[in-house]
Each structure stands twice: as C-alpha cells, then as structure tokens.
Structure 1
C-alpha cells in the first residue's frame, strides 16, 4: 500500500477511503464520487485516491474494457490514442492507481459487478448500473496531462498524450510493479515517462 493511501481515513473494516469518496452517516460510499472533493482534487492537482499533491508531469488512471480496447487498437495500428470523451474518474499518482486497480473489486476482476447505480444518470454515467459486469480487460494508463471542467453537479476530465499502458485481465499482475513504484517513491526516484 502506498504510504499516502495508508494515511487515509478508514472505514469500519479498516479499508482506506479514497480522497473523492463521499461519506454518509459516518460511512464511506465507495462506489460514488463526491462532487466537491473531486473538484478540489482537479483544481489543486491532487491525487483522487490519496489526496496528496501530484507533481508536474504524467498522471495515471484506471480504465475499463472499452477504453482499454481502444488504446490497444490505436497502439497496434501505430496511431496516437486520443479520446476526447470526458470521464468522471480523476487522475492520480502511478502507485495509487496501480494499488486502486488491485483493491477495488470492480477494477480488479473482469467478473466483478457494480454495487450501486449512478445517482443521477446522464451521458457520462449511463453505464454505471448496479449489477453491471466489468467484463474484458482493464488497464492502468499514464497520460502526460489532464484537463477538467467543474459543472454544477459533476467534474469532467479528459486525458491527453498517452505515456504508459499496462493492460490486465486480473489486476494482481501489477503487484511487482506496484512494489517497485513504492520503492522508487520512498527513495525519491522519479519514474521516466513511458
């Protein structure tokens, strides 16, 4: 577990609660995103998982099957990957996203199902339906930069210039890379863009 994630508040089971997770009646709502917390992370260039500042340079996120497939197809064809469709998922540190890909049941396994539906479905959240199976491959992906827009009820992100693509069926394949990234971070070493 990255040090910054280990310092996060925990739920009653002892699980660290991501920076953008809303709380209700003293309990975190893991499947939801808090608008104000997400906006604060976007504006302050804070990791959406640990809430700590992200240095200038690449940012990471975890993507689902559709985007994983589109990235793989672009790379196989020798084309740059560009997805101008906004997403609600904010960026984070490389170690935090590697970690999140393994500990979030929905991100970690293709047979995982969503626990909750989006509270107010719209074009960006229509796929967030209780019981929906992730299916297919996921990936931890690095981008050179991100853009964001804060609207009245959501924060939308776009990611630019692919620098790293780590696909997975089962996210535990990232464990050794997570350990190496935590060791680099503890030693102050910077990971070159990929």
Structure 2
C-alpha cells in the first residue's frame, strides 16, 4: 500500500475510490476507475496486477457457490481483501454511500465469506436499482479455487498476518 497516496488521516486511498486533485472521497466508488482496473486486470484495492493470483470477492451466498459468481465489487488480491475488511468499517462516515434510505438498518451477516477465483470472466454494466439512469459495473468470476469465512475480527487479523 506504500505506493498509494494517503488521505489526511493517513489511510491509503484505494484504487476504486473517487478522488479529486486534492483528496480521495471514501464515500464514493468511481465506476470509471473500476472500468480501468478491469481493463488491465488490476486489484481494486492496491491497483496492482493480479498476475497468477486469485481474484477475491466477499460473498454472502449460503452453501456451495455456483459455477459463475457475479458481484458489483471489483476483485482484489487476498491480502487486499483482508486489509479492506479491517479498515473499511472505519473509513465510512454516517453520510457514507451505505447510509441511504434503501439500506437503512441493514446489518452485515454474522458470517462473512470470501471466495478466490481463477479469473474474472466478464465485466458488464447494469442500471442501478437505487439510482435510475446510473449504471454500475458487475464482475463475473469463474473457477472458485479457495475460500474462507470469518465471524470475528481476530480471524481476519490472523489470516492477514499469514498473507
């Protein structure tokens, strides 16, 4: 993360965060930046190439994953997913993008699962259900090769230290 610019609090501004010439806006994800990352097969957190590494996604489905998984979040390296899982809850303010009326009162599932895929098979745009006329990118992944789940922050910290 040392190659990323930092905000006034010292947090690295991840690759998908919207920004202006002075600072990043952690309340806004840039669809243009997501498209650029997808084009070059780069990580949504650190902005570096995947190479032979798996493309990780947070997943809320129960049971076995289907052959193809579609997500509105851009893929990340495993270590980047673990980093984001630890810092993202602290970066959002009460006025963050998740604080809208459609998602008010939503609570994250007790168990959070991450899945690692061999490839991002396709990227496509779809109209937002919350903001008509606004299109967001979705990522289709295939070839699940690894996964892990966690209930507590300590489990993430331990796996992050190993990664």
TM-score (norm 1): 0.67
Residue 149 (1) aligns with residue 129 (2): no
User: Of 33, 56, 64, which residue of structure 2 is paired with 1:37?
Assistant: 33
Runs of 4+ aligned residues of structure 1 deviating over 4 Å after TM superposition are 112-115
Q: How does 1:79-158 map to 2 (within 5 A)?
A: 81-82=65-66, 84=68, 86-105=70-89, 115-117=95-97, 129-146=103-120, 147-150=122-125, 153-158=135-140
- Residue by residue, what CA displacement relative to the aligned partner does 1:77-101 show, whole Å, maximum 9, x if unpaired? xxxx217563220111111111111
RMSD of Structure 2 on Structure 1 (CA): 3.0
Please, which runs of 5 or more residues in structure 1 have no aligned partner? 75-80, 107-111, 182-194
- Residue by residue, what CA displacement relative to the aligned partner does 1:134-183 show, whole Å, maximum 9, x if unpaired? 232112221121121246832111221221111112233122322222xx
Please, which runs of 5 or more residues in structure 2 have no aligned partner? 127-133
User: Of 178, 184, 187, which residue of structure 1 is paired with 2:160?
Assistant: 178
Structure richer in strand, relative to its length: 2
**Do 1:98 and 1:140's aligned partners in 2 also have CA atoms closer than 8 Å?**
no
User: How many residues are matched?
Assistant: 154
Give 3-state SS (helix, strand or coil) of 2:117's partner: strand
